[in-house]
Amino acid sequence: MADFSRYTVSIDYDRRLYKQDIAGSMAHAKMLAKQGIISEDDAAQINQGLQTIETEIWEESFPWDPALEDLHMNIESRLHDLIGAAAGRLHTARSRNDQVSVDLRLYTKETIVESVKGLRGVQNALVGLAGRHENVVMPGYTHLQRAQPVLFAHYMLAYFEMFQRDIGRFQDCLQRTDVMPLGSGALAGVAYQIDREFLAAELGFSKISANSMDAVSDRDFVVEFLAATSVSMMHFSRMSEELVLWSSGEFGFIRLSDDFTTGSSIMPQKRNPDFAELARGKTGRVYGDLIGLLTTLKGLPLTYNRDMQEDKEGFFDAADTLTTTLDVFQAMLPGMKLNEERVSGLAGESQMLATDLADYLVGKGMPFREAHGILRELSRHCDNWEIGLQDLPLVEYQKFSGLFENDVYEITAESSAAARNNPGGTAPGRVAAALAEAKKLLEAAGHGF
């Protein structure tokens, strides 16, 4: 019969949890000794052995053995080789079910903290871009049709807001990840007088899990991490789509630095925005990781089932993808060059100002709905003539409404943006205030959480 033992093996990927596994074991041994469940001498030997193992893994001299299936068995077996009988006492009052949970929770907590740092870095880059081109107007879009002028800084701060919400989702997810499951044993708890609060304190958890059966079968924190990561990748994907469009010849809004574009093997003129395209592409795989785990979990009865071993590959994949995407955007955004002349030129094209012309009539007493209808007619008229609204003689304007006067020519992209002077609007004063607010927020957050 063929050897199928490989099917159950997880060390190829769960070895990434080695630091967390060793930290968990050290805390467990210390607690067992404190409680008089094992001797201080055994605990000291276990601690010593685990330190050696950590060094061996770090130095890549650790003898990984697939026959031992997973990380936990590999470490325990090696501990036995190193210290002998005392190693056999480490697994007292513990199961791999609560062990793997604590490992993954520790790892997820670290990943969340790193992700938030990266998101702060991206926000910082956006604030930098916004500040560099603070009062530049550009076309804003709906339906990817030119709609109304907006400040470039306002555009950048829109993404700042998205990433701010992402940070909130990660911080929220952290609360439910930050729960210490050791002491749940296989599923029912353990038959020794252990000290779970001590374990939580040793390992830096804020609280202990309330129900042993839930604790060993709960992977909600991974699902939530994947969900938060998916939403964040969705934001990066949307921004990537924007960068792809903006760097095209048709838009010509931006130029990405050579470090983040590539040439074509056949077309010498090409500067392809591969990094943005790949961020957009990788987003699909991250969604797959989320759907994969949700599907894995949906049919599982309590408590631990081996299916749950399948939580890790998708988790690592999504975490790595987010990490590298955050690194790429932190490096790519500051090097993005905006073609100020082009974007402000397009923002000033008269069809972008149709709403402002309607507002102009409203200012002279006309109901908005009526003004809207007149501007619709005027726009059509100009389209047929292939002429801009600004180039239309006043007599022509007056055929549509007697309210038009010479000051109609004072409407520009800048006056349009300036008019949107309410909280959340694109008026320069509002955007400057939002930018100051964003900077304050980043300063208060520092590089940390």
> If binding is defined by CB under 6 A, does position 96 make contact with ligand ARG?
yes
Of 100 and 129, nearer to ligand ARG (C-beta) is 100
Q: How far is the CB of 196 from ligand ARG (least distance, A)?
A: 20
Q: How far is the CB of 219 from ligand ARG (least distance, A)?
A: 10
Q: Which of 264, 372, 379, 447 is catalytic?
A: 264
- 401 catalytic? Reply is no
Footprint of ligand ARG on 8-37 (CB under 6 A): 10, 14
Of 302 and 394, nearer to ligand ARG (C-beta) is 302
Q: How far is the CB of 192 from ligand ARG (least distance, A)?
A: 19
Of 70 and 289, nearer to ligand ARG (C-beta) is 70
Q: How far is the CB of 153 from ligand ARG (least distance, A)?
A: 47
Q: How far is the CB of 115 from ligand ARG (least distance, A)?
A: 22
> If binding is defined by CB under 6 A, does position 309 make contact with ligand ARG?
yes
The single residue among 45, 97, 212, 237 that binds ligand ARG, judged by CB under 6 A, is 97
Instruction: Please identify, among the stretches 46-54, 92-100, 222-230, 418-426, the one whose residues bind ligand ARG according to the rule CB under 6 A.
Output: 92-100
> If binding is defined by CB under 6 A, does position 74 make contact with ligand ARG?
no
Q: How far is the CB of 212 from ligand ARG (least distance, A)?
A: 14
Instruction: Please identify, among the stretches 128-136, 230-238, 289-297, 303-311, the one whose residues bind ligand ARG according to the rule CB under 6 A.
Output: 303-311
What is the per-residue binding string for ligand ARG in 100-139, x denoting contact by CB under 6 A?
x---------------------------------------
> If binding is defined by CB under 6 A, does position 308 make contact with ligand ARG?
yes
Say how many residues touch ligand ARG, by CB under 6 A.
10
What is the per-residue binding string for ligand ARG in 54-73, x denoting contact by CB under 6 A?
----------------x---
> d(Cα 293, Cα 36) in Å, to the nearest integer?
40
Residues written for the chain: 449
- 143 catalytic? Reply is yes
Instruction: Kindly report the three-state secondary structure assignment for every residue of the chain.
Output: CCCCHHHHCCHHHHHHHHHHHHHHHHHHHHHHHHCCCCCHHHHHHHHHHHHHHHHHHHCCCCCCCHHHCCHHHHHHHHHHHHHHHHHHHCCCCCCHHHHHHHHHHHHHHHHHHHHHHHHHHHHHHHHHHHHHCCCCEEEEEECCEEEEEEEHHHHHHHHHHHHHHHHHHHHHHHHHHCEECCCCCCCCCCCCCCCHHHHHHHHCCCEECCCHHHHHHCCHHHHHHHHHHHHHHHHHHHHHHHHHHHCCCCCCCEECCHHHCECCCCCCCCCECHHHHHHHHHHHHHHHHHHHHHHHHHCCCCCCCHHHHHHHHHHHHHHHHHHHHHHHHHHHHHHCEECHHHHHHHHCCHHHHHHHHHHHHHHCCCCHHHHHHHHHHHHHHHHHHCCCHHHCCHHHHHHHCCCCCHHHHHCCHHHHHHHCCCCCCCCHHHHHHHHHHHHHHHHHHCCCC
Of 98 and 224, nearer to ligand ARG (C-beta) is 98
Q: How far is the CB of 71 from ligand ARG (least distance, A)?
A: 7
* Residues making contact with ligand ARG (CB under 6 A): 10, 14, 70, 96-97, 100, 304, 306, 308-309
Query: Among all residues, which ones are annotated catalytic?
Result: 143, 264
